Structure 1
Amino acid sequence: MTEFIPPGSRFVDLPSPFPMKRGGALHGARIAYETWGALDADAGNAILIVTGLSPDAHAASHAADPSPGWWEAMLGPGKAIDTDRWFVVCVNSLGSCKGSTGPASVDPATGDLYRLGFPELSIEDVADAAAHVVRALGIRALACLIGNSMGGMTALSLIARHPGLVRSHINICGAARALPFSIAIRSLQREAIRLDPLWNQGDYDDAHYPESGMRMARKLGVITYRSALEWDGRFGRVRLDSDRRDDEDPFGLEFEVESYLEGHARRFVRRFDPNSYLYLSRSMDWFDIGESCGDSTEAGLASLRLERALAIGVQTDILFPLQQQQQIAEGLRAGGVDADFLPLASPQGHDAFLVDIGRFGPAIHGFLSGHPSAAG
């Protein structure tokens, strides 16, 4: 599998060896990142964005890469995350295939791809790698750490493992631990990949790629990223025109929603490494912030030290349901953090933070401006 690296990416080398939480270590590993804005003389205006499972570090366009980023509407001059004011860093997660070291990278010890020889990956490893990038850039303390989805987990772990590195935090559709429903969905996604004969115990290449398994995994994911309300409003029960159906396949695509899922999955599969997908997916299932203090999830949250925090959730999110963001805010408040919980009524489910900028933008801008009332 060829790495997909945005042209504007830069890289930070991790310490060698870089120890992994569950054992083993990486040698010669690196993290891809991109930046926007200018760092103040005292390095006090830095924001770090940590992402969900699949995004790269290209959150928005910039001079080195003018192509639109995955959060283009949120990040830039005059936008909610205003790069005229803030120096923004976005990292590609350790274990990914979009510039950072992961299963699709070359193992310097063998000269071959890591594949399943990559050490077991935990959210804590992703957090440690991101923290190293921050320090390598000369940033002593982040003005704000923003984590979306899996990045919400990464952010909490980073705060726990690197006290003093973060002053404030925005947790968006994140979680302090994995819930059974989410674990079940991700388990099915991994099973779809592993049952594809072309996965071949992780030993595949571009010519023999487990496309069917990845398509099914991605479809399952997309179904949970949006809400039933949006699926109904967007597609209803509209059927495909006769010229778009395969009449020779009696169980083929028949409805518009099926066609959408198929097209979305096919656009994704060749742009992400299946082994990386397996590793990152499992890292979320293992995560519970309570492990950081050998206690409950609530105690783990209460142990985190921040000045301010905002946990944003969506009422229609079934993958990271609203009670998980409420748990984060309440747990942080129990530890003395000035933490707010903001439930949003977006119909677009878990992925609302990517598309419902009208709701999320004012909330994020308000928090970063220091005006909690603007976050409502």
Structure 2
Amino acid sequence: MTEATRYCTLPDPFPMRRGGQLHGARIAFETWGTLNPAADNAVLILTGMSPSAHAASHPDDPSPGWWDDIVGAGKPIDTRRWFVICVNSLGSCMGSTGPASIDPATGERYRLGFPELTLEDVAAAAHEVVRSLGIEKLRCVVGPSMGGMTALAHALNLPGASDHLMLISTAPHSLPFSIAIRSLQRELIRSDPAWNHGQYDDDSFPVTGMMLARKLGMTTYRSALEWRQRFARTRVPDNQRDPAPFSPEFAVESYLAYQAERFITRFDPNCYLYLSRAMDWFDVADYGGSVARGLARVRARSALVIGVETDLLFPIEQQEEIAEGLRDAGVSTHFADLPSIQGHDAFLVDTHRFGRVIGNYMASI
């Protein structure tokens, strides 16, 4: 089996929005489907904070992707029609250049020497992948969660680069609650003595800080209603409990621990810090003084904006604000308010409900 992930080398130097530049940087990406002769059937997927470029299974990598129910032949984003590109964000640790990568100037990991990262940088790097594939204009840019913010950054800085936009469970900027949660997550990581000002290694890794940050995040990715329906007050069986004082007693505690342990084996703490802060920094209002004036810069033919009523991190009114601003900008916009109980992560797990809306929109463009 060959490797499905490919790599695009960024222009050297690659300038960063808040100063500094990268040399020899690259972006990991995967593609599905076939680019047609006119090169006008390309769809770009920009991810949330932690996913890789492996959105769906691939002939060269049949392992399940993070959006397998949405991307593929006969699926809502149908790879029989569309040439789909998914990029791993600049600043991540899933193949793209980020704080965990080697700085060619020193031969050591960038760590906190990595330039300050913005979602505008992530969008610009993703666009270099598109250009490298010989695509002058995208049919659609798709962005869930952080990817939706990145899609907005792409639309604001590259007006007209895509005919259509799909913005899912995202926001024009982070609200105080979301900023507070991410700030606490970053503090938990930095407070772990093993973080050591970013100078950790595999033998001295901030396990506790990362686990606590992930647990805090997980509590906000779903809704209180789902937690109640899924776990109620179910307890861990006595024969499975750790006898240590204050060890997890409830099933929900064990679930959070399991999810945290899975996460820390695959994600770099410094990358987490950089991408988390980039989400807090992004603000459509930077492009004109208000969200409405910023969205007035968007030059797309149509947009689909999807929100979930139970999303704590990006409340439904934020998707309504985006939809209203795009309509005022002359973009034909459909807003879908979905009644999923699964909160912010609904686009990953309530794929039957999301798939219908996404499939209908993709069939219309």
- TM-score per shorter chain, which class? over 0.9
> Could you tell me which amino acid in structure 1 is paired with residue 151 of structure 2?
A
Query: 2:54 aligned with 1:55, yes or no?
Result: no
Of 267, 270, 287, the match for 1:272:
267
> Could you tell me which amino acid in structure 1 is paired with residue 152 of structure 2?
L
Query: 2:221 aligned with 1:225, yes or no?
Result: yes
Deviation string, structure 1 residues 66-98 (Cα, Å, up to 9, x no partner): 100000111110011100110000000000000
Three-state SS of the structure 2 residue aligned to 1:49 is strand
Shift of 1:294: 3.4
CA distance in 1, matches of 2:244, 2:214: 25
Q: Percent identity?
A: 61
CA distance in 1, matches of 2:325, 2:23: 37
Three-state SS of the structure 1 residue aligned to 2:96 is coil
Three-state SS of the structure 2 residue aligned to 1:79 is coil
Query: 2:257 aligned with 1:262, yes or no?
Result: yes
Deviation string, structure 1 residues 144-170 (Cα, Å, up to 9, x no partner): 100010000000000111122110001
Residue in structure 2 matched with residue 3 of structure 1 by the alignment:
none
Query: 2:352 aligned with 1:358, yes or no?
Result: yes
CA distance in 2, matches of 1:191, 1:8: 36
Residue in structure 2 matched with residue 126 of structure 1 by the alignment:
122
Residue in structure 2 matched with residue 348 of structure 1 by the alignment:
342
Shift of 1:42: 0.4
Aligned structure 1 segments of 4 or more residues deviating by more than 6 angstroms? none
Residue in structure 2 matched with residue 374 of structure 1 by the alignment:
none
> Could you tell me which amino acid in structure 1 is paired with residue 21 of structure 2?
A
Task: Confirm or deny: 8 A CA contact 1:14 1:29 kept in the other structure.
Answer: yes
CA distance in 1, matches of 2:44, 2:3: 20
> Could you tell me which amino acid in structure 1 is paired with residue 110 of structure 2?
Y
Of 282, 285, 297, the match for 1:287:
282
Of 321, 328, 347, the match for 1:327:
321
When normalised by structure 2's length, the TM-score is: 0.98
Shift of 1:247: 2.6
Deviation string, structure 1 residues 184-241 (Cα, Å, up to 9, x no partner): 0000000000000000000011111100000001011111110001000000001111
Query: 2:87 aligned with 1:91, yes or no?
Result: yes
Task: Confirm or deny: 8 A CA contact 1:302 1:333 kept in the other structure.
Answer: no
Residue in structure 2 matched with residue 298 of structure 1 by the alignment:
292
Query: 2:11 aligned with 1:15, yes or no?
Result: yes
Shift of 1:295: 1.4
Residue in structure 1 matched with residue 143 of structure 2 by the alignment:
147
Query: 2:151 aligned with 1:158, yes or no?
Result: no
Name the count of aligned residue pairs. Answer: 364
Shift of 1:289: 1.2
Task: Confirm or deny: 8 A CA contact 1:56 1:92 kept in the other structure.
Answer: yes
CA distance in 1, matches of 2:259, 2:265: 12
RMSD of equivalent CA atoms: 1.0
Task: Confirm or deny: 8 A CA contact 2:45 2:86 kept in the other structure.
Answer: yes
> Could you tell me which amino acid in structure 2 is paired with residue 124 of structure 1?
E
Task: Confirm or deny: 8 A CA contact 1:37 1:86 kept in the other structure.
Answer: yes
Shift of 1:246: 2.1
Shift of 1:303: 1.6
CA distance in 2, matches of 1:355, 1:245: 29
